[in-house]
Amino acid sequence: MNKQLTLMILICMLLSACNKNTKTLPVETGVAKTLADYRKVNISDLQYQLQFDIPEEKTTEISGKNKMIFELKSVNQDLQIDFREDASLIKSVKTNGNNSAYRFELEHVIIPKEELKVGTNEIELEFIAGNTSLNRNDEFLYTLFVPDRARTAFPCFDQPNLKGKFQLNMSVPSHWKAMGNGKLVQTKENGNRTTYEFAKTKPLPTYLFSFVAGKFETITREHNGRKHTMYHRETDPEKLANNTDEIFRMLFESLDWLEEYTDVPYPFAKYDIVVIPSFQYGGMEHTGATLYNASRMFLDKNATQNRLLARANLIAHETAHMWFGDLVTMKWFDQVWLKEIFANFLADKITNPSFKDMNHDLKFQMAHFPSSYSVDRTTGPNPINQVLPNLKDAGTMYGAIIYHKSPIVMNMLENIIGKESLKKGLQTYMKNYAYDNASWEDLIAILDASTPFDLKHWSKVWFNKAGRPHLTTNISSRNGKITELKMVQKDAKGNPGDWTQDLHLIFGYKNESKRIKVNMNVPEVFVENAKGMDVPEYIIPNAKGDAYGFFKLDKQSKQYLLENLDGIKDDLVRGIALINLYENLREGFLSGNEFVTAIEKQIAKEENSLILERMLSYLKSVYWIDQTPDERKKIGKQLEDTLWIRLSNENDMSKKSSLYSALSSIAETPERLSQLFKVWKEEIAIGGFSLSETKATALACNLAIKMPEKADELIKTQTERIQNPDRKKKMHFVAPALSADAEVRNEFFESLKKEENRQIERWTLEALRYLNHPLRETEALTYLPDALELLKEIQITGDIFFPYNWLSVSYSGHQSKKAGDITRKFLEERPDYPENLKLKILQASDVVLKK
């Protein structure tokens, strides 16, 4: 290369580097990654001083003020502040004390660079808060800003890696209470209004900033010198008495466990909980004031073991977030799984001691594998690690893969490096990145130092690859002895699989079983140890409960397990065998009829409550999804009888509860329905089983669909019976979806096209489930095209789980090829449909697409 050319290249490089520095950032809707990266480099020491004036009437505007104080490194760009609302809601803007000549463009308040200076800047904004994420109800409101909704309520830098210290003042009607992330400093009463002043928080990302206001009752308990308050709206004193102690006990146990495990004392000023009726999620980890769903917290007296466990896990999960997510936060929402992986993985560890009689490996299996498989078996699975160029699409990152596949993979990681190394590694990670942000790669770099294993490669396959390995066991034998055993892994398309994991094969014989460990690190592995062994009755390749994939059953194993599931005495192995059978059904290697017949025989014999509950839940879905109405007629009566007999003889309340739920779901014969109707009327009881208000309501709704001639009476009487005003309102909302009159139902569906009618997502989903009940399948087909059409809008207006849940209930009653055709047509006509949403559709419609 000659000198002149080298010089020219150098000049070009310099010029392009200069261009890069001065290039004006485009203004785009949402929060583009490029904008977020630019702000992260240039903005630091951020503080928000926020003031909101909350009126009592939910339709009256909320006015707000926000003073943003921060250090700026350079002023070569106009400053974009995020506000996803109408420009008219911005009332005034001042930059460093002077009126700003700001402009409003594509969801941003843009401050001219001339008004800014290197060093400390102050921007004061007066605005009307957008209502999108304020969840305004008649007597209360609560914010829910995850993942990028803070910008709908107030102008801010809405990105997880620009943490700010929040100082909040709120003025509310004096008979209301107000809660925030920070400690309450003081209240000032002025006429019929009270101002709450909260202390400045530690650095928080916008998605964790939160406030709640309204009519709430409180219960306070003390632990290790700190006061914790539970805010709630429950009116049933028995429900409160039955649950309060256990809620606080789990909360305190979680806090203690996490302080020990992370070696970091609780990192924020206070920790309260707020229990919200019909809350969208199970919980949301707002720092210092975590929100919970009332129906997940205040359980019925006869709650199943699984419900109790789910509550304990939920509390442990949200508490774990105080460290994993709140103290150390992911840099961007493409790694939102990074906080969920730890919250779920550690929640299991935290709750184990509270459920001493439970088989924890089985619990782990039941809690995570079926849900994760429900996505990975479809034609639209997503990897754990996803791509996210703009935060406005962050809501589509969520789903079973990040909540359930990630803890499974984390469990593998712990097995690879060891429990102590992982704990030590996480302690280092916590200390290095406290009140800051970190990525998965930052953690892997810490952990990689503690093991000779190639964690980086392993992490790539399990985190970046979608779907699951399909594993088959190929046996050759002569005279009853194995001559060759080959394990083969492929991906869903039949290409060789490159996942690496240990398999623990179990060989089952009449009176014993043998185990062999196989290191599955290539597409094909010959199991040398198996040579010469007797051919077993069955082989289960994932018998230890840590292996992940689709395990195709060989013919003999399949037949044996269908007939003798109860012959496997080890609960974990039997539970895994059940899951494998179900997955073989879903992958088309077993018929619905074979499955139901086999399960019906097991119902009478299954003693493990986790397996029984899983079995019954599979039974319900196979009954409705895989059986035609004629097939249902043939098996229905006998199935009802089997469930009824087991239910009547069962003493354990938790198992009784699962059996009751299965029976009321599948009941279709006139005799059984009239019996259940009498149960609802409280004329007869199911052997010592009292119907709680929740159960009676669910039964009334269920019967209203199956006994249309009694629908009016059921709905009217049940609505009158409900005492709690929040639950009464919900019943009023869902009633039209239960109506016997198709006109009323169609009109109700039409009403859901308006955003304001979908505001309480839980209610909407429940009503939509009724509209799409399998018994109304033909009619529900007419809803499907509109439900799909609405999806894009729902992703923008709804919260993070709403798009998938909306689809999931819309497909819940369908089993026809027609539903599959509607789906295919919808996608074919829209070749440019957003990829993440397309995957959600493929996930939710998997059953009908395979018809």
Contacts to Zn ion by CB under 5 A: 340, 343
Interatomic CA distance for residues 577 and 560, integer angstroms: 11
Query: Which CB atom, from 166 or from 345, has the smaller least distance to Zn ion?
Result: 345
CB of 255 to Zn ion, least distance (A): 16
* Cα-only R_g, the chain: 28
| Residue with the CB atom nearest Zn ion in the bound state | 343
Report the candidate in 345, 341, 383 with the shortest Cα–Cα distance to residue 364: 345
Query: Which CB atom, from 338 or from 691, has the smaller least distance to Zn ion?
Result: 338
- Coil, strand, or helix at residue 605? coil
CB of 317 to Zn ion, least distance (A): 6
The token duo for 40 is: 């992260």
- Look up residue 334 and give its DSSP letter: G
Report the candidate in 214, 212, 230, 213 with the shortest Cα–Cα distance to residue 273: 230
CB of 648 to Zn ion, least distance (A): 40
HSE at residue 25, side-chain half, CA atoms within 13 A, is 23
| Cβ-based neighbours of 317, under 8 Å, separated by 6 or more | 282, 283, 343, 344, 347
- Angstrom distances, CA of residue 385 to CA of 90, 105, 466: 37, 32, 9
Query: Which CB atom, from 198 or from 209, has the smaller least distance to Zn ion?
Result: 209
CB of 411 to Zn ion, least distance (A): 17
The single-letter code of the amino acid at 629 is: P
Query: Which CB atom, from 147 or from 508, has the smaller least distance to Zn ion?
Result: 147
For 72, phi then psi, to 5°, come to -120, 135
CB of 229 to Zn ion, least distance (A): 22
Interatomic CA distance for residues 605 and 600, integer angstroms: 10
CB of 259 to Zn ion, least distance (A): 19
Interatomic CA distance for residues 77 and 794, integer angstroms: 34
For 613, phi then psi, to 5°, come to -65, -40
DSSP string, 633-668: HHHHHHHHHHHHHHHHH---HHHHHHHHHHHHHH--
CB of 404 to Zn ion, least distance (A): 12
Q: Are 208 and 288 in contact (CB under 8 A)?
A: no
Query: Which CB atom, from 146 or from 579, has the smaller least distance to Zn ion?
Result: 146
CB of 401 to Zn ion, least distance (A): 14
Where helices occur in 587-626 by DSSP H, the ranges are 592-603, 609-625
Q: What is the dihedral of CA 810, 812, 817, 822, to 10 degrees?
A: 10
CB of 629 to Zn ion, least distance (A): 40
CB of 463 to Zn ion, least distance (A): 18
CB of 480 to Zn ion, least distance (A): 52
CB of 323 to Zn ion, least distance (A): 12
CB of 347 to Zn ion, least distance (A): 9
- Coil, strand, or helix at residue 314? helix
Query: Which CB atom, from 49 or from 439, has the smaller least distance to Zn ion?
Result: 439
Helix/strand/coil (H/E/C) assignment for every residue in 242-275: HHHHHHHHHHHHHHHHHHHHHCCCCCCCCCEEEE
Report the candidate in 196, 578, 510, 82 with the shortest Cα–Cα distance to residue 373: 578
Query: Which CB atom, from 213 or from 343, has the smaller least distance to Zn ion?
Result: 343
CB of 760 to Zn ion, least distance (A): 21
CB of 344 to Zn ion, least distance (A): 7
| Cβ-based neighbours of 827, under 8 Å, separated by 6 or more | 833, 838, 841
Report the candidate in 53, 15, 63 with the shortest Cα–Cα distance to residue 178: 53
- In terms of Cβ atoms closer than 10 Å to its own Cβ (0-12, 13-18, 19+), residue 832 is exposed
Query: Which CB atom, from 340 or from 626, has the smaller least distance to Zn ion?
Result: 340
Interatomic CA distance for residues 563 and 578, integer angstroms: 12
Interatomic CA distance for residues 618 and 606, integer angstroms: 14
Query: Which CB atom, from 330 or from 412, has the smaller least distance to Zn ion?
Result: 330
Query: Which CB atom, from 291 or from 518, has the smaller least distance to Zn ion?
Result: 291
The token duo for 501 is: 């994991």
- Angstrom distances, CA of residue 461 to CA of 457, 499, 502: 7, 6, 15
Query: Which CB atom, from 340 or from 546, has the smaller least distance to Zn ion?
Result: 340
Query: Which CB atom, from 324 or from 748, has the smaller least distance to Zn ion?
Result: 324
Query: Which CB atom, from 167 or from 437, has the smaller least distance to Zn ion?
Result: 437
Query: Which CB atom, from 338 or from 667, has the smaller least distance to Zn ion?
Result: 338
- In terms of Cβ atoms closer than 10 Å to its own Cβ (0-12, 13-18, 19+), residue 21 is exposed
Query: Which CB atom, from 437 or from 609, has the smaller least distance to Zn ion?
Result: 437
CB of 768 to Zn ion, least distance (A): 25
Query: Which CB atom, from 394 or from 572, has the smaller least distance to Zn ion?
Result: 394
Interatomic CA distance for residues 245 and 553, integer angstroms: 46
Location of structure tokens 């503690």: 450
Side-by-side strand order, sheet with 177-180:
140-142, 211-214, 177-180
